[in-house]
Structure formats: C-alpha cells, structure tokens
Amino acid sequence: MEEIGKVLPSIFKRQFRRGDPRLAEVLASLWPRVAGQAVAQHSRPVNFGGGTLTLETDGVCWTTQLQALSKEIQAQVNAFLGGPVINQVRVRAAPVAGEAWKKTQWNRKMD
C-alpha cells in the first residue's frame, strides 16, 4: 500500500485545479505535514481564491517572517498538491493574536 503522502497530491491535483475555495479547509487539516511543524504552530490557511492562499499567523513577527518566506511556502504547497495550484501566498496577523489564538478550537485539533 502506498504511503498516503504519495497518493494525496494526485487526488488534490484533480480536485483543486479550478480554484476550489475549500482548498484552505483541506490544507488546514494537513497544515503541519504541508508546511512543517514550526510554521504550522504559528500559522493556518484561512482562505483560497483566485490562486491566492491566505494564511493567518499568531503575531506580527510571524507575519513578517512568513511574508519573507512566501515563495518557499508557495512551492511547498504546490509540491504537496502535485501542481501549480497556488500563484501567491498572502500572510496576515490573525485578529486574535498571541496566546488566545493558540487556544482556538482549530489549534486544539492540531495537537
């Protein structure tokens, strides 16, 4: 049986070719695997549209850092998806930053 990480990109490539907005939801559940643990602990995908993936971070420092890494993140996500689905990565600080953000229901699912 193939490792799921090898099978998922081919599934995603067919499913999200047309810019399906549900891509952010799918990526959110797999974010540590896609972006790596360090990035996933401080960010999450929140929107996808027009080829742009929007990430929220838990603070201004992480926003700045991930903006600088946006091309690398784009490449990682596209590699995971099996093709050039993401044209741009936009990064913004979450409205609720810091410890409160880390305790959201989304992050509890990630633990």
Cα separation, 21 vs 103, in Å, equals: 25
Residue recorded with tokens 């971070």: 57
pLDDT, tens only, 65-96: 999 999 999 999 999 888 898 999 999 998 86
Structure tokens at 6: 């090898």
pLDDT, tens only, 8-31: 555 555 555 555 668 888 889 899
Please say whether the beta carbons of 60 and 93 come within 8 A.
yes
pLDDT confidence of residue 22: 81
Q: Where are the domains of the chain?
A: 4-110
Q: Which CATH number fits domain 4-110: 3.30.70, 1.20.120, 3.40.50, 3.30.300?
A: 3.30.300
Cα separation, 11 vs 58, in Å, equals: 30
